[in-house]
Amino acid sequence: MKSMNYLPLSCLMAIVSLPAPGGAADAQQTESRRTSDPLRVAPIDEVAGVYAVRQDKPFDRRIYQLDITGVSLRTYWRNIEPQRDQFDWSLFDDAIARCVATNKKVRLCIMFGTGVPKWVDVPWFTGSPDSEYDTANQPMPVPWHETLIREQKRINRIFAERYRDNPTVSFFHISGPSSIWEELALPANIVDQQGYSRDAILNTWKQVIDQWQAIRGGKRLSCAVSAATSVYRNLGDDIATYAVGKHDDPTDHGVVGSDFVLQWNYLDTLYGRAILATSKRWIPKTTIAWQMWGSTAWSRKCQDYEGTVKLGLDVGSTYVEVYQEDLLVPQYARFTETIDKEIKARIKKHGKAVVAIDQPPAQSSSARANGDVDQACDGDAPAWNTWSTSARNPGRILDSATLPTEYSPKRE
């Protein structure tokens, strides 16, 4: 473990050079130049490893003392720009400053959906009660509306220009049409909104990817392609194919190629079979990553923390995202530090992350004792109605009132 002495944050901020966003004309010229500039992408082993992940709140300072690669922060657009042209970048800037002081990397994400600021003049609707995952009863704007697309492109450009030349930033984690998180879940009644079609959803995502390819500078992109709902169950595969190419065609590299990291957010040994199959399908094509499905401290409890984090390593993750609550437990923190080192070592040895297992791991004794079983997954995510802590409470559907703190829209 690294022991770190902290400088006052005001001093740390002086270390970080953050260019201010320019005007619209300058932005168009910059975006055009970026499209033709040679990309200066960092070696993959420099940004690979374990990242602590959190939403809307700063990390506990103890996280920065851990010997892991970095931190991953996400927040809603409304928190960044509560009023038009009035920005608050403090959550991201403070994390960057602390990462500079502790030799870490940071992944950044702005989420849309329910987090679009209300000053954006677009039609909204509320997810119907029969909607899947967390989209029921959640408000969101119509994602393909031309005004929303225009305004999202504007904030994406400002976001990219602010951070793309900062060496501490390792990835831009991009967002598109979604309800409450950065994943793909959309409510059932989106089909009733004016202009709906699957093509409208996919074309909106294509515009997101096209823009980020043009403005990313030398940064890799990542995207959570899990949790697609029944309105468009294959959306994750279609996004992946557009960005990196068909998984079974070695000559097709999509519009971004291997700098586009496919991420899934249901890492748990409960879903070992699906995780291994998904990883094997896409790792020949591009870099992949996994985020923990839950935490040992949540009601959606991870019963096999060490087995789950190691599964992320063994299926070829370039990075694994782990929640802060687990990393504040000394036993789990020490184990996670060893996994971080192993991810880097395997990439240095093979030149990329590789799948190291042929079969998913057996369930831990604690998971078996609780009655948990390795569940088959529907598409790219666990079945939407299996948000339960164990088989003793099967099929419990969590709404926003019962979600753990890290997943609740009503955070302190």
Which CATH number belongs to the domain containing residue 205 in this structure? Answer: 3.20.20.80
**Looking at the domain assignment, is residue 80 inside a domain?**
yes
Token representation of residue 265: 């957010």
Q: Domain count of the chain?
A: 1
Residue 4 lies in a domain: no
The domain in which residue 299 lies consists of 39-407
DSSP characters for 274-341? HHHHHHHHHTTTS-EEEEES-BTTSSSB-S-HHHHHHHHHHTTEEEEEEEHHHHTSHHHHHHHHHHHH
The Cα 346–Cα 293 span in angstroms is 24
Number of neighbouring beta carbons within 10 Å of residue 371: 12
pLDDT tens by residue, the chain, 412 residues: 444 444 445 444 444 444 444 444 444 433 433 333 446 899 999 999 999 999 999 999 999 999 999 999 999 999 999 999 999 999 999 999 999 999 999 999 999 999 999 999 999 999 999 999 889 999 999 999 999 999 999 999 999 999 999 999 999 999 999 999 999 999 999 999 999 999 999 999 999 999 999 999 999 999 999 999 999 999 999 999 999 999 999 999 999 999 999 999 999 999 999 999 999 999 999 999 999 999 999 988 999 999 999 999 999 999 999 999 999 999 999 999 999 999 999 999 998 899 999 998 876 555 544 544 444 443 334 655 544 333 322 222 333 332 333 333 332 2
Which pLDDT value is given to residue 25? 40
What DSSP element (H or E) covers 205?
Answer: helix 198-215
Q: Which residues are paired to 281 by β-bridges? A: none
In a domain, 297, yes or no: yes
Q: Give the separation between CA 324 and CA 60, rounded to whole angstroms.
A: 8
Among the listed residues 144, 87, 143, the one whose alpha carbon sits nearest the alpha carbon of residue 116:
143
> How many of the other CB atoms lie within 10 Å of CB of 201?
23
- Token pair belonging to 297: 């401290």
C-alpha R_g of the chain = 20
Strand ranges, E, within 96-247: 105-111, 124-126, 139-141, 169-173, 220-224
Q: Is residue 301 part of a domain?
A: yes
Burial of 186 (0-12, 13-18, 19+ CB in 10 A): buried
Q: For CA atoms 174, 239, 269, 369, give the dihedral sign.
A: positive
Q: What is the pLDDT of residue 364?
A: 58
Query: Taking the model in full, what pTM does it have?
Result: 0.84
Non-local (6+) Cβ contacts of 39 within 8 A are: 216, 217, 218, 259
In a domain, 384, yes or no: yes
In a domain, 28, yes or no: no
Q: Tell me whether residue 120 is in a domain.
A: yes
Tokens of 300: 């959606």
How many Cβ atoms sit within 10 Å of the Cβ of residue 229? 22
Q: Are 302 and 270 in contact (CB under 8 A)?
A: no
Instruction: Tell me which amino acid residue 253 is.
Output: H
Q: What pLDDT is recorded for position 411?
A: 29
Query: Phi-psi category of 358—alpha, beta or left, where left has phi over 0 and alpha has psi -120 to 50?
Result: alpha
250 CB neighbour count, 10 Å cutoff:
10
Cα–Cα distance, 125 to 138 (Å, whole number): 8
Asked if residue 19 belongs to a domain, the reply is no
CB contact at 8 A, 174 and 208: yes
Question: What is the residue whose two structure tokens read 């390593």?
Answer: 313
